[in-house]
């Protein structure tokens, strides 16, 4: 099982992600710098969280136009697994690899706290180790996590099971539509998730609820 | 077209630079001629209070700054302390008070940026941040605006940079109405064999400018920070710098990458007084001269004068002396991160600080004298008046349960969740304890068991009533908070915030507080390894209360034996360590007295440092032996508030016995050197024996469990009600 972590200036949860992938898979991921036009042969590509290009212009907008993102899109088209967490999710949206947009939190404030997520679709490559409807703990840390899309797209992604995690009622930290916390593309190989499962994978984190996400995807590709 | 440097130096111009007539005379004597306009700016930058410590130096020298683990004490960008295994923790706290009052978001943000830069300049990757904030009365018209802006600014910078904020303080007091305090702390991890210093070495070597471009922002900032505020404060807004955390994050990665290559001889960040201070510091420390060519400085504005470039406080910049053979490698790293890299000068052997601009020499000054010959004052001071002790018997009786709820719902004792949920407390994946406990704890990456604890403390109302005892208490509380997690307190950084030192009463507060801080540090073996002094915290003659913030670092050898504050399990014993027979007796200057009785009377609680040390060492020993299941120090609000916090954190109540004496003093007294502990019932006798053997007091005072907290004969309060009181005040105040 081989993985790659994309690095862009301003991303800052790359270290967390590299540690999580190494701990779960037993292998260090390769890192790929923004100017690379080719990504090595891997089973999983991860866009970690942070503030690529300072979130200037619009979260993820500048990063989505870097050379490496063309390579990510090519790999995704070939069925390689891709995860974008937080700013990585925003970059996937700006790249057009996932539908919708992430707006400023309804509170207009950055929020870092633990929330509860419900597995909305346990039948994906990223969630198959969870039970259907399972409620898990997971931290969030973001300023722009308020997911939104037009009603037609919303109907489609809801209808086709593309919503994979929802904030449990009363814990939605950002006002996202239908409490959406994570979605997959139609092909089921590209995941965008706002919370940070990589920060809840070992006892030092106070829980391991995020670990099963990585076990799901790493297990399948292994 | 050249920009002139020939402005006539008048008395008014000298005064506008914050220089007194005798200080200007000193300049004339030193250089034997009238300074140029740029030179006057340079002197003003180097000789202001903020950069020269001219009023405080004499007293700072009395602080203990060394110890077996101290690698670098005060005088560098940050202090360095050995934590074993070839690793060191690098840390410092610094104020950004004046800028934060003028422009709260950018003032606080650049305060965080500055302290992070101090840490990574030394080769350390930042792993934790804290902040100590003091605002005016909640009902004051500016307070809410300042709280919102400062908190957003700290989060905006720290979150984007990518450092977890794991601790801090927030206080409200009308005495900060015109002058809030923003003290920012950062700590980083480095290898002991790869610490970088600011001392330049070698003649004729390139001086390299790194990072962001120079603009006009912050020109004269350090001089502004060395004066009192007057009614025209809004006009000072242009002296506040603007932060760019994205550039800082890139600068961090580029600097650490460059340091790995062995190219760096000396490095200094550009903080207060920017290019001037950093260049002078590197040259003076190395006993060398520095020549700068301002035409090579990357600028983002046109037609900047030499004066403006030398005094700009644009953020995210560094100055470095480089090994010439590594120049291309170094430049490639900075280009990769999209940062400026320019050779702007060289080291010389003549100990002169020479500045060239458009072919003209605009400054030529003796470099060592700029720093070393700065004026130093032994300012007159008067000892603060001692206050009469409070007689608790004179207070009307109160309902203990109602008083507790009132305290928990008060500005100073309510939960700070509203604040710290705007900070990323989890990034880097090593946070073991986030705000809400006694100390923030972060595990040491790549080590199986080690962790570092961080706490920031001071109780300004104690310092106001008795600066000496208050200074002692600030150190003791910090030491105690670290101890309560099981950490061995290693060293501390001090951020001394006071009013105008030219007033003998204020100078007296400063002197006595430093004496108290020094005494506590000596007895507790807790040296001060870095720090910052912020004076002139006054508006229209109204000074702040003396506020010597102490931020400390502790080492936990094995975090699987770490204590938290939460009641862990039903049916465990609750114990009180280090208390007098009647559990507590000192109500003078207590939160209870202020919130419930509306009085600010009496003396500060005295700190018996020898007792503090013995109790702390005892408690730490129990934690490390795995005998204690929870620990929490008693501080503001006394025993009752400590128990309430343990209940809320654990989601369970406790039944506490009736105290032997007056319930108000037992539950709300703020006697120092006390800890609340829990343990398994089977271990109680062993713990009591151990305390007896150590000649320390340890009382069993109750049992955990149930959904209510019952304090002696008072009515039981549900944990839900306690939590609502505790969590309610801040969001309500901020109108969320």
pLDDT digits (tens, 9 = 90+) for B495-550: 999 999 999 999 999 999 999 999 999 999 999 999 999 999 998 889 999 999 99
B195-208 residues labelled b (16+ CB within 10 A) or e (exposed):
bbbbbbeeeebbbb
Closest partner CB to A53 (pick from B246, B337, B443)? B246
First CA to last CA distance, chain A: 5
Q: Each residue of B703-722: pLDDT tens digit?
A: 999 999 999 999 999 999 99
Q: Closest approach of chain A CAs to the CA of B244, in angstroms?
A: 8
pLDDT at B434 over 70: yes
For residue B242, the model assigns a pLDDT of 84
- Ordered per-residue pLDDT tens for chain A, 222 residues: 899 999 999 999 999 999 999 999 999 999 999 999 999 999 999 999 999 999 999 999 999 999 999 999 999 999 999 999 999 999 999 999 999 999 999 999 999 999 999 999 999 999 999 999 999 999 999 999 999 999 999 999 999 999 999 999 999 999 999 999 999 999 999 999 999 999 999 999 999 999 999 999 988 443
pLDDT tens-digit series, residues B655-679: 999 999 999 999 999 999 999 999 9
Partner residue opposite A19 with nearest CB, options B155, B253, B429: B429
pLDDT for residue B218: 73
| pLDDT for B271 | 81
Inform me whether the C-beta atom of residue A219 falls under 8 Å from chain B C-beta atoms.
Answer: no
Alpha carbon of B60 to those of B54, B63, B533, B536: distances in Å? 11, 6, 9, 17
A96 CA to chain B: closest CA distance, Å? 24
Cβ of residue A141 closer than 8 Å to a chain B Cβ: yes
Question: pLDDT digits over B220-254, tens only?
Answer: 665 656 666 665 655 555 667 889 999 999 999 99
Measure Cα distances from B570 to B627, B653, B681, B707, B720 in Å: 16, 9, 11, 10, 17
**Contact between chains at B424 and A54 (C-beta distance less than 8 A):** no
In angstroms, what separates the C-alpha of B242 from chain A's closest C-alpha? 14
Q: What is the mean pLDDT of chain B?
A: 94
Chain B residues lying within 8 Å of A10, measured CB to CB:
160, 246, 249-250
CB distance from A174 to chain B under 8 Å? no
In Å, how far is B566's CA from the nearest CA of chain A? 14
Nearest of A17, A2, A78 to residue A47 by alpha carbon: A17
Instruction: With a cut of 50, say whether residue B603 has pLDDT above it.
Output: yes
Rounded to the nearest angstrom, the minimum Cα separation between A155 and chain B is 32
* Cβ-based burial of A151 (10 A; exposed 0-12, middle 13-18, buried ≥19): exposed
Contacts of A199 in chain B (CB under 8 A): 426-427, 429
CA angle B168, B169, B171 (to 5 degrees): 165
Mark yes or no for CB contact A50/B156 under 8 Å: no
Q: Which residues of B touch A55 (CB under 8 A)?
A: 160, 246
Binary contact (A55, B160; C-beta < 8 A): yes
B250 vs A10: CB contact, 8 Å cut-off?
yes
Residues of A in contact with B247 (CB under 8 A): 54
Tell me the β-bridge partners of B420: none
pLDDT tens for each residue of B536-568: 999 888 999 999 999 999 999 999 999 999 999
Residue B356 three-state SS = strand
Task: State the nearest Cα–Cα gap between A183 and chain B, in angstroms.
Answer: 23
DSSP string, B553-611: EEEES-GGG---SS--STTPEEEEES--TTS----TT-HHHHHHH----SPPPP--HHH
- Residues of chain A with Cβ-Cβ distance to B245 below 8 Å are 51, 54
pLDDT of residue B238: 62
Which residue in chain B has the smallest CA separation from A7?
Answer: B337
Q: Is residue B96 flagged as an active site residue?
A: yes
Task: Collect all residues of chain B within an 8 Å Cβ-Cβ radius of residue A50.
Answer: 160, 162
**Separation between Cα atoms, residue B368 and residue B515, nearest integer Å:** 30
Interface contact A112-B423, CB threshold 8 A: yes
**Predicted local distance difference test score (pLDDT) of residue B728:** 96
CB contact under 8 A, A112 and B424: yes
Please tell me which of the candidates B422, B426, B430 has its beta carbon nearest to residue A110.
Answer: B422
* Catalytic choice (A94, A138, A143, A198): A198
Please give the pLDDT value at position A133: 97
Beta carbons of A55 and B424 less than 8 Å apart: no
Nearest-CA distance B635 → chain A (Å): 26
Residue of A18, A24, A53, A54 for testing the chain B interface, max B β-carbons within 10 Å:
A54
Chain B interface mutation, best of A19, A61, A110, highest count of B Cβ atoms under 10 Å: A110
The residue of B151, B162, B252 whose CB has the most chain A CBs within 10 angstroms, and thus the best one to mutate to test that interface, is: B162
- Ordered structural domains, chain A, with CATH: 3-218 (3.40.50.880)
CA distance A120 to B602: 60
CA dihedral B276, B280, B282, B287 (to 10 degrees): 170
Residues on chain A touching B421 (C-beta within 8 angstroms): 111-113
Q: Do A10 and B424 touch (CB under 8 A)?
A: no
What is the pLDDT, as a whole number, of residue B552? 98
- Our answer to whether residue A143 is catalytic in this structure is no
Nearest chain B residue to A19, by CA: B429
CA–CA separation, B438 and B436 (whole Å): 7
B390-401 mean pLDDT: 91
Q: How far apart are CA B124 and CA B188, in angstroms?
A: 5
Per CB-CB distance under 8 Å, the chain A contacts of B189 are none
Q: Which of B96, B357, B597, B726 is catalytic?
A: B96
* Cβ separation B428–A54 shorter than 8 A: no
Interface contact flag, A9 B250, Cβ < 8 Å: yes
b/e code A173-192 from CB counts within 10 Å (16+ = b): bbbbebbbbbbbbeebbbbb
Pairwise CA distance, residues B662 & B53, whole Å: 47
Nearest CB to A16 within list B152, B253, B427: B427
Contact state of B160 with A13 under an 8 Å Cβ cutoff: no
Chain B residues within an 8 Å CB radius of A205: 429
A141 and B337: CB-CB below 8 Å? no
Q: What is the mean pLDDT of residues B143-167?
A: 98
d(Cα B238, Cα B242) in Å, to the nearest integer?
Answer: 10
Nearest-by-Cβ selection for A56 from B162, B246, B338: B246
Say which residues have a Cβ less than 8 Å from residue B505's Cβ, sequence separation at least 6.
B381, B382, B384
Report the alpha-carbon distance of residue B8 to residue A206 in Å, rounded: 66
Size of interface A-B (CB pairs under 8 A): 77
In chain A, residues with a C-beta closer than 8 Å to the C-beta of B424 are 110, 112, 141
- Chain A environment of B168 (Cβ under 8 Å): none
pLDDT > 90: percent of chain B: 87
Contacts of B144 (CB under 8 A, 6+ apart): B138, B733, B734, B735
- Global pTM reads 0.96
Residues 6+ apart with CB under 8 A from A4: A29, A30, A31, A32, A39, A40, A42, A44, A45, A46
Q: What is the per-residue pLDDT across B252-295, written as a single tens digit (0 to 9) for each?
A: 999 999 999 999 999 999 987 789 999 999 999 999 999 999 99
Which of B245, B429, B432 comes nearest A54 by C-beta? B245
d(CA A24, CA A27): 8
Which of A8, A9, A138 best tests the B interface by mutation, with the highest count of B CBs <10 A?
A9
Q: Do A139 and B247 make contact, defined as CB atoms within 8 angstroms?
A: no
Q: Give the pLDDT score at B232.
A: 61
The complex's ipTM works out to 0.97
Q: Enumerate the residues of chain B whose CB falls inside 8 A of the CB of residue A139.
A: 426
Distance from CA of A199 to the nearest CA of B (A): 5
């Amino acid at each position: 099982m081989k993985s790659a972590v994309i690095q862009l200036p301003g991303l800052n949860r790359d270290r967390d992600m590299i540690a999580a992938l190494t701990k779960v898979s037993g292998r260090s991921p390769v890192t790929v710098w923004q100017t690379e036009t080719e990504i090595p042969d891997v089973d999983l590509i991860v866009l970690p969280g942070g503030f690529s290009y300072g979130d200037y212009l619009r979260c993820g907008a500048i990063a989505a136009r870097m050379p490496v993102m063309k390579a990510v899109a090519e790999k995704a088209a070939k069925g390689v697994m891709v995860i974008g967490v937080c700013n990585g999710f925003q970059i996937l949206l700006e790249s057009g690899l996932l539908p919708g947009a992430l707006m400023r939190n309804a509170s207009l404030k950055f929020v870092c706290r633990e929330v509860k997520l419900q597995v909305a679709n346990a039948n994906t490559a990223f969630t198959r180790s969870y039970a259907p409807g399972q409620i898990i703990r997971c931290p969030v840390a973001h300023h722009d996590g308020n997911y939104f899309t037009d009603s037609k797209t919303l109907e489609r992604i809801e209808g086709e099971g593309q919503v994979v995690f929802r904030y449990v009622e009363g814990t939605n930290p950002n006002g996202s539509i239908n409490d959406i916390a994570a979605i997959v593309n139609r092909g089921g190989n590209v995941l965008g998730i706002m919370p940070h499962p990589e920060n809840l994978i070992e006892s030092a984190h106070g829980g391991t609820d995020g670990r099963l996400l990585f076990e799901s995807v790493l297990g399948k590709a292994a | 077209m050249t920009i002139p440097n020939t402005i006539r130096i008048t008395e008014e111009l000298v005064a506008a630079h914050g220089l007194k007539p005798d200080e200007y005379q000193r300049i004339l004597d030193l250089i034997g001629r009238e300074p140029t306009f740029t030179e006057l700016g340079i002197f003003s930058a180097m000789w202001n209070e903020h950069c020269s410590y001219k009023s405080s130096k004499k007293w700072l020298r009395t602080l203990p700054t060394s110890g077996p683990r101290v690698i670098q004490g005060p005088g560098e960008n940050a202090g360095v302390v050995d934590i074993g295994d070839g690793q060191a923790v690098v840390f410092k706290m610094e104020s950004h008070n004046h800028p934060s009052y003028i422009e709260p978001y950018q003032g606080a943000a650049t305060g965080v940026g500055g302290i992070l830069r101090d840490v990574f300049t030394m080769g350390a990757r930042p792993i934790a941040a804290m902040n100590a904030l003091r605002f005016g009365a909640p009902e004051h018209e500016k307070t809410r605006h300042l709280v919102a802006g400062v908190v957003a600014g700290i989060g905006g910078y720290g979150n984007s940079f990518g450092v977890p904020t794991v601790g801090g303080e927030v206080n409200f007091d009308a005495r900060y109405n015109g002058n809030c305090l923003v003290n920012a702390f950062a700590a980083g991890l480095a290898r002991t064999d790869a610490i970088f210093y600011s001392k330049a070495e070698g003649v004729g070597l390139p001086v390299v400018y790194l990072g962001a471009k120079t603009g006009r922002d912050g020109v004269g900032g350090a001089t502004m920070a060395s004066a009192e505020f007057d009614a025209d404060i809004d006009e000072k807004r242009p002296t506040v710098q603007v932060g760019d955390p994205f550039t800082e994050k890139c600068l961090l990665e580029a600097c650490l990458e460059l340091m790995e290559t062995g190219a760096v001889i000396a490095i200094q960040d550009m903080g207060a007084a920017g290019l001037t201070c950093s260049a002078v510091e590197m040259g003076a420390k190395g006993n060398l001269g520095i020549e700068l060519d301002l035409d090579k400085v990357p600028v983002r504005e046109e037609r900047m004068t030499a004066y403006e470039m030398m005094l700009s406080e644009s953020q995210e910049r560094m100055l470095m002396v480089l090994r010439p053979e590594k120049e291309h490698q170094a430049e490639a790293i900075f280009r990769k991160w999209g940062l400026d890299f320019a050779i702007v000068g060289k080291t010389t052997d003549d100990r002169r600080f020479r500045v060239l601009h458009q072919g003209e020499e605009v400054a030529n000054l003796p470099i060592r004298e700029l720093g070393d010959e700065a004026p130093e004052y032994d300012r007159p001071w008067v000892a603060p008046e001692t206050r009469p002790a409070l007689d608790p018997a004179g207070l009307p009786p109160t309902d203990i349960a109602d008083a507790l709820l009132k305290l928990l719902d008060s500005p100073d004792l309510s939960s700070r969740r509203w604040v710290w949920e705007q900070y990323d407390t989890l990034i880097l994946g090593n946070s073991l304890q986030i705000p809400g406990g006694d100390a923030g704890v972060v595990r040491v990456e790549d080590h199986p068991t080690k962790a570092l604890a961080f706490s920031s403390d001071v109780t300004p109302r104690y310092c106001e009533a008795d600066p000496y005892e208050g200074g002692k208490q600030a150190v003791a509380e910090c030491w105690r908070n670290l101890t309560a997690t099981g950490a061995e307190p290693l060293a501390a950084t001090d951020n001394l915030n006071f009013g105008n030192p030219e007033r003998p009463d204020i100078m007296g507060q400063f002197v006595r507080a430093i004496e108290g801080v020094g005494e506590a540090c000596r007895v507790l073996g807790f040296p001060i390894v870095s720090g910052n002094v912020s004076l002139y915290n006054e508006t229209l003659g109204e000074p702040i209360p003396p506020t010597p913030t102490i931020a400390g670092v502790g080492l936990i050898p094995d975090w699987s034996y770490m204590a938290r504050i939460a009641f862990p399990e039903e049916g465990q014993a609750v114990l009180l360590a280090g208390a007098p027979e009647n559990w507590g007796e000192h109500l003078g200057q207590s939160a209870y007295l202020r919130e419930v009785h509306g009085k600010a009377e009496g003396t500060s609680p005295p700190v018996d440092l020898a007792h503090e040390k013995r109790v702390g060492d005892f408690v730490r020993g129990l934690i490390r032996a795995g005998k204690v299941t929870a620990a929490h120090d008693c501080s503001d609000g006394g025993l009752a508030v400590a128990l309430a916090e343990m209940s809320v954190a654990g989601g369970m109540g406790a039944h506490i016995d009736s105290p032997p004496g007056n319930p108000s003093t037992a539950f709300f007294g703020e006697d120092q050197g006390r800890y609340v502990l829990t343990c398994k019932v089977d271990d109680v006798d062993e713990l009591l024996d151990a305390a007896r053997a150590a000649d320390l007091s340890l009382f069993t005072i109750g049992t955990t469990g149930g959904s209510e907290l019952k304090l002696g004969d008072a009515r039981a309060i549900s944990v839900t009600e306690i939590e609502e009181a505790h969590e309610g005040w801040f969001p309500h105040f901020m109108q969320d």
